[in-house]
Structure 1
């Protein structure tokens, strides 16, 4: 009986593996998407297929591009800012069935005037464009390690700093939705890159603060913390930079400000160490953009420790 049970479990394991490999074989060339976050606006742009060598139960695809840089520069322009963050997503083509790839290898490079610039791709498939302005070709390569299928994708990238997105012009701020959002992370150790922490970010007033400057603090969803954790808030990417920042402690009974502390704008990032007193506390980081004494813009980053 024991041998029969072992044989049965072994057969199930083989069938499961067969199913996995079969499904992987059935997967066609994935669709590659470039995700760009511009302030509160998200863009999802499909990249163009270039060199393809891919076999599946749906058939074999062979595509060849002789000059990858020339081909890339012929595509529609995708505009990004210096140092802008981006990420990649790969989706299965619905016509091919299947929805998995086993341990793919993904690389990202930029081409400019025949020179290759390697970009670091993080585990979450996020990367960052360089500082130098100019016209580039983005090349993304996707290699399926099991079947050795290869797919290459390209896009024309123009890195350019635009005045309307980064400066106060004629006493007016850029559109709020195009402004970069401050980043808040929870750091558990010095070796950790941190993880995104629960928060809410909202406009209070924008280019009309003399008329609308009232803010009601929300009942924000708590983020989990432990004593010794560190909350790190970074506003370096916000352009134009705020002229004044205040850390506010909020009374969770009536949602009124009970303590206010001015923060040095150049002290980036702001680190808040979690101790026993801070657990259960709600905060708001107030960002102000001013010309003289006149407030041009005001926003709030709300978070709560639990």
Structure 2
């Protein structure tokens, strides 16, 4: 009977350690993609200003972009339909979200879009826009930008 208890204790010890080694966290900021019903593929936004902390609250990645608008205009154009619903897709979610905002710029005029969970509706006016997504989390802040073209349906 003594061998049985040693074996049980040994198994409990091994199984408890597998929980420690089995988890791996991604301490990089997530990539962000846009998805809608009108596009077959997802469209990835470019990273803008980022301060992201990793293990031990140490800064893992930091980017400082002076001219976000120029960065966005250099990105491939993404086409969407006026007023359509768009979802934000995150590569991973190894963070606790604290806030998410989406804005579009057209001719230096900023419009904040209402975000519900991870979805928002695009403006109803056609034209070219610069999109800005700001993600605030327990790991830090990350900004993403892109160039979108909105067409009528």
Q: Same fold (TM over 0.5)?
A: yes
- TM-score range for the pair, normalised by the shorter chain length: 0.7 to 0.9
User: 2:128 and 2:74 mapped to 1: Cα distance?
Assistant: 11
Size of the alignment, in residue pairs? 130
**Structure 1, gaps ≥5 residues long:** 1-18, 93-98, 167-306
5 Å-filtered alignment, 1:274-293, equals: none
User: 2:62 and 2:73 mapped to 1: Cα distance?
Assistant: 22
**Structure 2, gaps ≥5 residues long:** 1-19
Specify the structure having the higher radius of gyration (Cα).
1
Equivalent pair of 1:69/1:114 in contact (CA under 8 Å) = no
Report 1 or 2 for greater relative contact order, CA contacts < 8 Å, sequence distance ≥ 6: 2
TM-score when normalising by structure 2: 0.75
User: What per-residue deviation string (whole Å, max 9, x for no partner) do you get for residues 21-40 of structure 1?
Assistant: xx77x6321111111211xx
Which residue is 2:73 aligned to? 73
Higher strand share: 2
User: What per-residue deviation string (whole Å, max 9, x for no partner) do you get for residues 111-132 of structure 1?
Assistant: 1222210000112x11111111
User: What per-residue deviation string (whole Å, max 9, x for no partner) do you get for residues 82-106 of structure 1?
Assistant: 11111101123xxxxxx52113311
Higher helix share: 2
Which residue is 1:229 aligned to? none
After superposition, the CA RMSD in angstroms is 2.3
User: 2:42 and 2:115 mapped to 1: Cα distance?
Assistant: 18
Which residue is 2:120 aligned to? 127
5 Å-filtered alignment, 1:227-306, equals: none
- Paired residue secondary structure (2:72): helix
User: 2:97 and 2:32 mapped to 1: Cα distance?
Assistant: 16
Determine whether 1:160 maps to 2:151: yes
Deviant stretches of 4+, over 2 Å: 57-60
- Paired residue secondary structure (2:40): strand
Equivalent pair of 2:86/2:121 in contact (CA under 8 Å) = yes
2:141 to 114, 133, 150: 150
